[in-house]
Structures are given as structure tokens and as C-alpha cells.
Chains A and B, each alone.
Chain A
Amino acid sequence: MGGFGFYGEKGLPGINVDELKGKLIVLEGTDGVGRSTHIGLLKLWLENNGHAVLDTGMTRSALAGEGLKAAKEGHTLGRMTMTLFYSTDFADRLENEMIPALRAGFIVLTDRYIYSLMARAIVRGADPEWIRGVYDFALKPDIVIYLRVNIEDLITRVIQHSGFNYWESGMDLHLGDDMYDSFVEYQTRLLAEFDRMVAPDKFYVIDASANIDQVFDSVRATVEPLLKLPHLKSRQA
């Protein structure tokens, strides 16, 4: 078995990675690429195959989740404050949700991980090396699946689904005259940051512009090798 490691040398105080028996699977991608849909499908498939699954996502931590929501509604926090608030939320989820589940042998599926948080921070002016250093305490996942779309497809999807919202358009950055211009500029910058991480962070890139079934086939094929356990054979869903 592979075994976990931290990004930095020291990692989290008081955590012994040798105790973590589960698997950590990350789905990354910009807003509106269908991450939550595929998390749901993957969870169902894994459970059907006899795996215990915990799914988790950003800004849901018991400690900082509510505070972050309030912050986003009020837009009162500065950029650095917001960046670190997200890292607090992430640390809380890592230590209090993901690690206990990994210890218990669960497969942890997380909707976004440090990569989204780093991309957002960098687009907002944080030094790339600095923010990466902040996340030295993060566990290296077993697999990072990056659902990638180009900006044109992304625009179509967002219009069809939820429409443009303030944060997904990066309106706090004042990048364009209106939400559309701002969205295009902001998401283009985010995509560029994600693309920069593909090689160093060993992302499995899946083209998310295909239909859901095709994308999910690729997601499943990526995850499958990880599950080759002596006592559990995965079957086709």
C-alpha cells in the first residue's frame, strides 16, 4: 500500500500518517464543470462495490464554514484574510473529517482541495510559493482528477445552470465592466493556474466538455486501479 505523506517535511502536528488506511480522491476543476455530479456518481459506484465513502467539500467545516459564508455575503474581508480563512476551513476539514475517515479505512472523496484554494489566492495576488508553503500541512492525495473545460464551454454551462454569481465571476477583483466580462477574465486566469499545476501535482486531466456518461467512464477508469484489493473486485456499474 502506498501510504500517505504531507506536502511539506513537517506536516500536521500529532498526526501519524502510517495510521491512515483509506484513500483520498480529489476532484478539482473550476466552477460549473460538474464536479458535484461526478462526486455523486463516484460515491454511488464505490459504495455499490463495497467501499465506505465520505464525501466532503469546501466551506463546510464545523469551525469556519458558517463564518466564511457570512464573510462572502458581507464582502468585508480583505484578500489575505479571505485566503487564510479558507486555509483554516480546509485545515479543520482535513483534521476533523478527512483524517478520521482515512484512519477508519474510508475512501474520502473531496470536491476541490488545496489546488482550487491556491488558484484563487494566486489570482488574488498571493505569492505562489507562499501559498503553496501555507498548504505544506496538507496530505498528498492518492489521485487528483482535474475536470477540465475551456472557457467557451464553461460560459455555456454556467448560463444554462446557475447564471453568473458574484464570487464565481471574481467581482471582488474588478476585472471587467460587468459580470460577464469579469467572469471570463477571472475564470481564464483560474484555468491558467490550474493548468500550471497539472504536471507538478500529477493531475489526471479529464476533458469535461464531453457528456456526463463519457466523463464518468473516464473518472471511473482513473479511480479503478486504486481499488485493486485482494478481497474486493470492482464490477462495472
Chain B
Amino acid sequence: MRMYGKHRFPGKLFIVEGIDGSGKSTQIALLQKWLESEGYVTFFSEWNSSPLVRDVTRRGKRKRALTPMTFSLIHATDFADRTEHHIIPPLKAGALVLADRYIYTAFARDVARGVDAAWVRRLYQFAVKPTIGFYFRISLDEAMKRILGGREAIKFYEAGMDLKLSEDIEESFRLFQSRIIDEYEKMVQEFGLMVIDANQSIEEQQVQMRQIVTQALEGTKKTRIRKWVDLGSMVRRVSPA
């Protein structure tokens, strides 16, 4: 069994982390556009990718039937599927894999729910270690302003309503997210996450990301698929060079 550690695949894995409203999704989308324009083969890996596991997760959430433990395990199951189908094959093929949220989301969320920190880290030992993990640091107040401005209602589990921190969903969300921020902050050193100040302008943040990624890519060949793998979905989804 492959354990968490530096991988030997020809590809690279860049991931972004941060609370909702930190702007990480915007940043990784911009990074992907740029990498493609530079001639790299990129592959974007989404969080909830397996239809089968996704259905179970959705039903569990809709019925509010998830405990901290089953919430943790069903997301680990989904992550395993994502690793087996959407991360390892493109990395083997030499692609630059980009992931919006990674194992650190699970660590932050699960521990904020009372799951043992050491247990959940061991659970994810099968994960591939990212080349670089970016953490978009933002104050809770700023993130709340961005979120409450322009998106649909906060969801039950997102707000940590299962923890019964508060009857009020906005207040619960705030309390839960502040626990998550605490967990992220602890992980910056533990996992060597690259901190980006998410209070800066979008452009400033993107410049920093590109500098860091450029360094990590020194010596990486562009558009060269070294070892093609038999995976239909990937063949379709990797953009042509």
C-alpha cells in the first residue's frame, strides 16, 4: 500500500485550501488557465467526484443522518475514489493535477467535529502528498462578508449545525468556521502549507502563486505525456496540448 509521502510520479500536484469565501477556487482556476497557456497538460480534480459515493453522501446529508464518524468516513471513501481515478492516473501520465480542497479540508472539518486528529491523519495515509499545498488565509469577518453577499443559503453540515453550537445557522456557521480556521493554522507548519494572504487583491495573490509554481516546475517537461494510461475519462478530460 502506498503511504503518504513524496510521490515518484512524473506529474505534479497543486492543491488549494482555505475556508469558504477565501477565494481559493478563483485562484486555482486562474492558475489552470495560465498553466495551459504555458503549454502544460493540466487536470482538474474535483472534490465530490464519484457518482456512487456522491449519492450516499447526498442522501446522508439530506436526511441529516451523518455522525462525525460517518461524515469523516464517507468523505474519505470519496477521496479514495478521487485518488484512484482522478489523481494517480493523471500524475502517472505526467499531468499537472490541480485540486480544489484536499485532505487538509477533511482534517480541519473532522477535527472541528470532535474526531481524533491522529486517527483522521492515519486514515488518509493513502493520499498522495501534494507538490505544493496553498493555504488561503483570511479573517472570518472578511470571509463572512464575501459569502453572505453572493451565494445561496448556508447548508446544514457546512454550518456545523449537527454539532448544535447554536440554533441560528449563521451563528453556528461562524463558530464552526472559526474552529476550522484554528485547525488550518495548526496545519500550516505540520504539513508545510504555503500561506497566501487572501486579503490581497486577486491579481497579487495570483502573481505569488505563479511564482511559487514556476519554481516547483523547474525542469518539468511541457505537454509530454510520458506514460499513457488506460482511462477513458481522463483521455476525454485532459485538454489537448
Residues of A within 8 A of B (CB): 8-10, 12-14, 62-64, 66-67, 70-71, 74, 76-81, 83-85, 87-88, 91-92, 95-96, 125-127, 130, 133-134, 136-137
Contacts and interface: CB of A to CB of B under 8 A. Distances in A.
Contacts, number: 102
Contacts of B60: 63
Contacts of B123: 133-134
18 contacts: A10-B116, A10-B118, A13-B67, A13-B113, A62-B65, A63-B70, A63-B74, A64-B74, A67-B53, A80-B83, A81-B50, A81-B80, A85-B53, A88-B76, A92-B65, A96-B67, A133-B122, A134-B122
A127 B80 contact: no
A86 B226 CA distance: 35
A74 B119 contact: no
B126 A63 contact: no
Interface in B1-25: 1, 3
Contacts of B65: 62-63, 92, 96
A130 B1 CA distance: 9
A80 B3 contact: no
Contacts of B220: none
Interface in B34-61: 50, 52-53, 55-56, 59-60
A174 to B, nearest CB: 15
Given A62-B65, A136-B119, A137-B119, A81 B73 contact: no
A85 B77 contact: yes
A88 B81 CA distance: 14
A54 B52 CA distance: 29
B128 to A, nearest CB: 12
A84 B69 contact: no
Contacts of A79: 84
Contact of B114 (A13, A66, A126): A13
A14 B114 contact: yes
Given A63-B59, A71-B52, A84 B115 contact: no
Nearest to B3: A127
A87 B80 CA distance: 12
Given A63-B59, A71-B52, A13 B115 contact: yes
